[in-house]
């Protein structure tokens, strides 16, 4: 794993066809290049971090991976299949789940119904007739997955609460439970701990770690909370101004002068786990 | 070439006026976020005001034109700004209800005042002219084009040179940023509505001599104009004007070649064809998307308690079963009420639950009605009824496909255009009503059911009950949950695997299916039905009446059916035009109430508390007595907060 100051020359880890890989992805908004030929990989069975200052292009890259944005060039590969031209919904049904920087929840429903939507959308998303004619077997699977996800995230006691009354931290947990209920093999988590207090952050980290260890899923994590990042991630990519400036293990990242200059700050001990 | 020239000239003249109207629409849409379906109605109103001044009161035409333009760009512009201010961030469906309500209201009012006699508009501009290549060109035509293009040019310069103009362009480009940088949105919007109404008035006055003083024709001018808007991608003003010219010329040249029915119906639908092609070809990101507030239109109400639900259901069932005994000779009215409740229920599912808009629901009903008529005597009645729905469903999907990727306003435009296309082109063909423009079907006769009014009432009641059972089951089931979530967070559902466009199309097809069944009931009830009953204006009335009765899935369409089909038989004082006017007016009010529902509720709650606290005034001794010094045990903490 070499580290270089030149974006496209940064090499990342390998997925061996079992995970998410972005190759030379370039996204432009009009004339502005938001993501500039970035390649990264998020294999299964571990948490991979994507860090960088605000406006570095992290969410844009996420949107390109999940298909909400079409890259100007480059390709996205999911579990060994080129999905660049596939729609967001198809990628999701293949097993790519995500959460949002600004929490996307349905306020008109209870927390449990919201969580259930995660698996419902995935199960019936491509089968219009199932949306009209559900069956008992499907209902049972939905209820089971929902209950398991609620328990994993420790929010069973909030299940019947109206979502409109939940705090930001509880909404973040809802999003995590929803994406876990969906049974996705690869999760893109966009700043999941922002708005959470220290205690909530700790339990959040434990849930993610637990899911990775027990279910063998892969996680690509965008996060500003450096202690959490250093604790969870086995490998890190650092973005700045849309370019990949460094890739390596947490220790290597903390030692890198390039990363300190661009993001962590000179002499800052913010990055210490 | 010389044989095409007259068509080209006519096309350029009408086209420049379509362009003028289109510019008014785009300018107001982009500055206020409200796409005004009533733009043509405003043009029509201006034409009538001008007519009254010039023809009835003999005011010289330049003065009459100035007065009309002044009136519309000040008073009407101001009123429209006030009206649309509260709609800026309302859901798409509410905006459509408000502006189509405006359309109906103005049209109804014009018919009320002027009657439905189509008047000849005085040719106020000089009809003398000159000859080009053996083709006569009148000064009237030259002046029309000159006025329209001058108006466009002046607006273009105004937007580039003046401060207000630059601010307006900035709003069009990025409204949030503009208001952050200190521009006054009110002034900008007011200016836009003033210019928009002025342009509408000018196009109305200039078009009336060609089209005749027909409120309906002028009102649907908006459809011609939205072809122009589509060519300008709902953004560019010069391109909109150019688009108007293109639409005008193509439509005019088409009249030369397409002379036999049903093809002769195509020229007026040319703008709609442009719209479809553009929506299919242009990527969604190139078209402006509104920043509508994201929320479900169905109010959150706790489910009714079981005992109450059963009592209510049982009571309604008993009343409905005894209606034939209770209402006497008015029974057919109640049967048609049930029929309309099926069509309105299908519309409520579409509009209130899935947030999609259909301005051609009567066209789906027409597909059902004609299918029923074609299958009459060939298949058992029940099977024919089912097939009527089955045929209507794919038609619905076909209409919705071009806009599946985009926000609701384009669907509204497409469906309005489709309704007009159907009426002009498809209705007269053998596929639907044929050249007689009417179809026949017989009532079901089997077992002891003898086709009498009474038995047909019970058959219709059964179909309606099944429809409402389906609606309730859909809403409570998987699809209902997905749709409610979709109205709030479509992106979330997409990223969890739901193909949102497919689900939207699915709902559209279910809705069209039910509407088709409603249409089939309509034709069997009366035995014979004319194509006119399924026109675009009828579809608009359907939406207006539904909105007046609220945004509930089951209750609103039932009330709407009573208001639309049953009430007029009892309250006979109001004629068709009064109903159109009233429905339009109340739809506007309803849209405002829905848009500001939370504020209205707060206001009501405040009014209630202030009247309650007033009781606590008066001598202080009374107040002391009323307020216990020690809070009673077990007091509800929610109340004490």
Is A178 in the B-facing interface, judged by CB distances under 8 Å?
yes
Position with higher pLDDT, A143 vs B285: A143
Q: Cβ A132–B499 below 8 Å, yes or no?
A: no
Mean per-residue pLDDT of chain A: 86
Domain ranges of chain A: 7-95+184-264, 106-168+176-182
CB of A95 closer than 8 Å to CB of B463: no
CB contact residues (below 8 A), chain A span 70-89, against chain B: 87-89
In whole angstroms, what is the distance from residue B583 CA to residue B105 CA? 7
Helix locations, B549-575, DSSP H: 555-561, 567-570
Please count the other Cβ atoms lying within 10 Å of the Cβ belonging to residue A156: 15
What is the three-class DSSP state of A270?
coil
For residues B405 and A4, which has the higher predicted lDDT (pLDDT)?
A: B405
Secondary structure letter of residue B605 according to DSSP: H
Tell me the residues of B at the A interface, defined by beta carbons under 8 Å apart: 295-296, 300, 474, 477-479, 481-482, 484-485, 488-489, 491-500, 502-503, 506, 510
Token couple for B564: 């639309």
CA separation, residue A40 to residues A15, A64, A186, B34 (Å): 10, 12, 14, 43
- Inter-chain contacts counted by CB atoms under 8 A, chains A and B: 99
Contact A88 B481 (CB under 8 A): no
Examine the pLDDT at A8 and tell me if it is beyond 60.
Answer: no
Shortest Cα distance from B299 to chain A (angstroms)? 9
pLDDT at B434: 81
Q: Would you call A92 and B495 a contact, using CB atoms and an 8 Å cutoff? A: yes
Nearest neighbour of A107 by CB, restricted to B488, B495, B503: B488
Interface test with A, best of B497, B503, B509, B598 (most A CBs within 10 A): B497
pLDDT score for B632: 39
CB contact under 8 A, B478 and A87: no
| DSSP secondary structure of B452-470 | -HHHHHHHHHHHHHHHHHH
Helix axes B237-257, B221-231, angle to 10 degrees: 120
Chain A's closest residue to B509, CA to CA, is: A128
Q: Is the pLDDT of residue A264 over 70?
A: yes
A3 phi/psi in degrees, rounded to 5: -115, 135
**B300, B482, B489: residue with CB nearest A131:** B482
Least Cα distance to A40 among A67, A13, A66 occurs for: A13
Chain B closest CA to A252's CA: distance in Å?
Answer: 33
**Is A51 within 8 Å of chain B by CB?**
no
Residue B398, judged by CB atoms within 10 A of its CB (0-12, 13-18, 19+), counts as: middle
A102-116 residue pLDDT tens: 888 888 889 999 999
Q: Are the C-beta atoms of B271 and B247 separated by less than 8 Å?
A: yes
DSSP class of residue B284 equals G
Asked whether residue A1 carries a pLDDT value surpassing 50, the answer given is: no
Collect all residues of chain A within an 8 Å Cβ-Cβ radius of residue B493: 117, 121, 125
Res B86: pLDDT: 82
Both tokens assigned to A218: 């892969």
Q: Give contacts of A130 with chain B, Cβ < 8 Å.
A: 478
- Give the angle B509-B510-B511 at the CA atoms, nearest 5°: 90
CA dist., res. A231 & res. A212, Å (int): 13
Q: Which candidate in B298, B476, B491, B498 is best for mutational testing of the A interface (most A CBs within 10 A)?
A: B498
Contact call for residues B229 and B37 (beta carbons, < 8 A)? no
The angle, 0 to 180 degrees and rounded to 10, between the axes of the packed helices B185-211 and B39-51 is 60
Q: Report chain B (641 residues): mean pLDDT per 10 consecutive residues.
A: 81 90 90 88 92 89 92 92 84 89 92 81 77 80 88 89 85 73 80 92 87 78 84 88 92 85 78 85 78 64 81 89 85 92 94 87 94 88 92 91 76 87 85 82 79 87 94 89 85 90 90 95 88 88 91 89 87 83 90 82 78 52 40 38 34
| End-to-end Cα, chain A, rounded Å | 22
Positive or negative torsion for Cα A121, A126, A130, A135: negative
Closest residue by Cα to residue B434 from B525, B486, B373, B393: B373
Determine contact: A130 vs chain B, CB below 8 A. Answer: yes
pLDDT at B291: 59
Chain A positions touching B474 (Cβ under 8 A) are 132
Give the pLDDT of residue A89.
Answer: 93
Residue B293 and residue B251: Cα distance in Å, rounded? 38
| B356/B581 Cα distance (integer angstroms) | 25
Is A146 within 8 Å of A95 (Cβ atoms)?
no
Q: Do B481 and A117 touch (CB under 8 A)?
A: yes
Nearest-Cα residue of chain A relative to residue B502 = A128
Q: What whole-number distance in Å separates Cα of residue B406 and Cα of residue B261?
A: 34
pLDDT of residue B74: 92
Tokens, residue B275:
């719209």
Which residues in chain A have Cβ-Cβ distances shorter than 8 Å to B296? 108
Please tell me the distance from the alpha carbon of residue A253 to that of residue A135, in angstroms, as a whole number: 50
- The ipTM is 0.89
Decide if A125 touches B, using CB distance below 8 A.
yes
Superfamily for domain range A7-95+184-264: P-loop containing nucleotide triphosphate hydrolases (3.40.50.300)
Number of H helices, E strands in chain A: 10, 10
Q: Distances from the Cα of B227 to the Cαs of B8, B102, B141, B432, in angstroms?
A: 18, 21, 22, 26
Q: Look at B503 and A66 and tell me if their CB atoms are within 8 Å.
A: no
Q: Do B499 and A113 touch (CB under 8 A)?
A: no
Of B477, B496, B499, the CB nearest to A118: B496
Q: Dihedral angle at the C-alpha atoms of B5, B10, B15, B16, nearest 10 degrees?
A: 100
Partner-chain contact B474 A132, CB within 8 Å: yes
Whether residue A105 and residue B489 make contact (CB cut-off 8 A), yes or no, is yes
| Cα–Cα distance, B347 to B549 (Å, whole number) | 13
């Amino acid at each position: 794993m070499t580290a270089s100051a030149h974006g496209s020359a940064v090499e990342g880890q390998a997925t061996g066809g079992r995970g998410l890989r972005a190759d030379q992805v370039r996204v432009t908004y009009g004339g502005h290049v938001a993501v500039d030929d970035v390649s990264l990989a998020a294999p299964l069975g571990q948490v991979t971090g994507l860090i960088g200052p605000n406006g570095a292009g992290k969410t844009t890259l996420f949107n390109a991976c999940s298909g909400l944005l079409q890259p100007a060039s480059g390709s996205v590969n999911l579990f060994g299949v080129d999905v660049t031209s596939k729609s967001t919904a198809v990628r999701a049904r293949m097993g790519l789940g995500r959460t949002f920087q600004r929490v996307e929840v349905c306020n008109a429903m209870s927390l449990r119904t919201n969580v259930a939507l995660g698996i419902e959308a995935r199960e019936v998303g491509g089968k219009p007739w199932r949306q009209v004619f559900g069956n008992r077997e499907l209902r049972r699977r939905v209820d089971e997955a929902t209950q398991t996800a609620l328990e994993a995230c420790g929010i069973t006691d909030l299940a019947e609460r109206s979502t409109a009354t939940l705090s930001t931290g509880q909404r973040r947990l809802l999003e995590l439970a929803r994406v876990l209920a969906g049974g996705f093999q690869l999760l893109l988590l966009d700043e999941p701990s922002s708005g959470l207090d220290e205690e909530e952050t700790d339990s959040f980290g434990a849930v993610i770690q637990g899911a990775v260890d027990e279910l063998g899923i892969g996680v690509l994590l965008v996060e500003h909370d450096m202690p959490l990042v250093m604790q969870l991630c086995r490998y890190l990519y650092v973005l700045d101004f849309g370019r990949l400036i460094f890739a390596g293990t947490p220790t290597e990242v903390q030692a890198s002068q390039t990363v300190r200059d661009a993001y962590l700050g000179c002499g800052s001990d913010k990055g210490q786990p | 070439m010389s044989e095409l020239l007259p068509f080209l000239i006519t096309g350029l003249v009408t086209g420049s006026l379509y362009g003028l109207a289109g510019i008014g629409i785009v300018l107001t849409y982009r500055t206020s976020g409200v796409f005004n379906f009533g733009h043509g109605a405003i043009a029509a109103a201006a034409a009538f005001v001008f007519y009254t001044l010039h023809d009835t009161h003999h005011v010289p035409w330049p003065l009459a034109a100035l007065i009309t333009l002044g009136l519309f760009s000040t008073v009407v512009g101001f009123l429209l700004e006030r009206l649309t201010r509260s709609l800026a961030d309302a859901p798409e469906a509410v905006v459509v209800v408000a502006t189509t309500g405006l359309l109906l209201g103005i049209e109804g009012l014009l018919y009320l005042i002027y009657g439905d006699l189509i008047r000849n508009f005085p040719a106020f501009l000089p009809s003398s002219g000159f000859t080009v290549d053996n083709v006569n060109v009148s000064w009237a035509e030259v002046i029309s084009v000159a006025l329209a293009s001058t108006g466009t040019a002046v607006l273009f310069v105004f937007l580039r040179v003046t401060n207000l103009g630059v601010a307006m362009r900035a709003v069009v480009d990025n409204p949030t940023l503009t208001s952050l940088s200190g521009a006054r949105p009110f002034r900008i919007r007011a200016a836009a509505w003033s210019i928009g109404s002025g342009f509408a008035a000018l196009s109305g006055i200039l078009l009336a001599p060609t089209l005749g003083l027909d409120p309906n024709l002028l009102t649907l001018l908006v459809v011609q104009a939205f072809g122009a808007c589509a060519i300008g991608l709902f953004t560019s003003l010069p391109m909109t004007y150019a688009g108007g010219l293109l639409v005008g010329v193509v439509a005019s040249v088409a009249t030369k070649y397409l002379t036999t029915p049903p093809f002769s119906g195509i020229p007026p639908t040319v703008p709609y064809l442009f719209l479809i092609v553009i929506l299919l070809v242009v990527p969604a990101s190139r078209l402006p998307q509104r920043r509508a507030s994201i929320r479900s239109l169905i109010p959150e109400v706790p489910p009714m308690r079981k005992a109450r639900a059963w009592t209510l259901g049982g009571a309604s069932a008993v009343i409905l079963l005894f209606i034939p005994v209770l209402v006497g000779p008015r029974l057919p009215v109640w049967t048609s009420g049930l029929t309309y409740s099926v069509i309105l229920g299908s519309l409520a599912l579409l509009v209130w639950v899935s947030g999609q808009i259909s301005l051609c629901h009567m066209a789906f009903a027409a597909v059902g009605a004609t299918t029923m008529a074609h299958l009459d005597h060939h298949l058992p009645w029940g099977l024919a009824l089912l097939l009527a729905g089955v045929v209507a469903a794919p038609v619905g999907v076909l209409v919705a496909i071009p806009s599946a990727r985009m926000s609701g306003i384009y669907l509204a435009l497409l469906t309005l255009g489709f309704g007009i296309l159907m009426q002009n082109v498809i209705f007269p063909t053998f596929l639907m009503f044929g050249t007689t423009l009417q179809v026949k079907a017989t009532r079901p006769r089997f077992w002891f059911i003898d086709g009498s009014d009474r038995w047909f009432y019970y058959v219709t009641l059964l179909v309606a009950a099944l429809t409402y059972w389906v609606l309730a089951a859909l809403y409570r089931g998987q699809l209902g949950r997905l749709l409610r979530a979709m109205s709030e967070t479509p992106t979330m559902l997409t990223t969890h695997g739901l193909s949102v466009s497919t689900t939207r199309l699915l709902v559209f097809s279910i809705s069209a299916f039910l509407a088709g069944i409603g249409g089939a009931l309509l034709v069997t009830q009366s035995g014979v039905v004319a194509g006119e009953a399924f026109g675009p204006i009828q579809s608009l009335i359907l939406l207006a009446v539904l909105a007046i009765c609220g945004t509930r899935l089951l209750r609103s369409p039932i009330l709407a059916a009573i208001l639309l089909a049953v009430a007029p038989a009892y309250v006979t004082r109001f004629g068709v035009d009064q109903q159109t006017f009233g429905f339009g007016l109340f739809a506007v009010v309803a849209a405002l109430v829905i848009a500001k529902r939370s504020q209205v509720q707060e206001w009501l709650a405040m009014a209630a508390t202030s009247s309650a606290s007033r009781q606590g005034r008066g001598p202080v001794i009374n107040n002391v007595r009323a307020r216990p010094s020690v809070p009673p045990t077990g007091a509800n903490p929610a109340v004490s907060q």
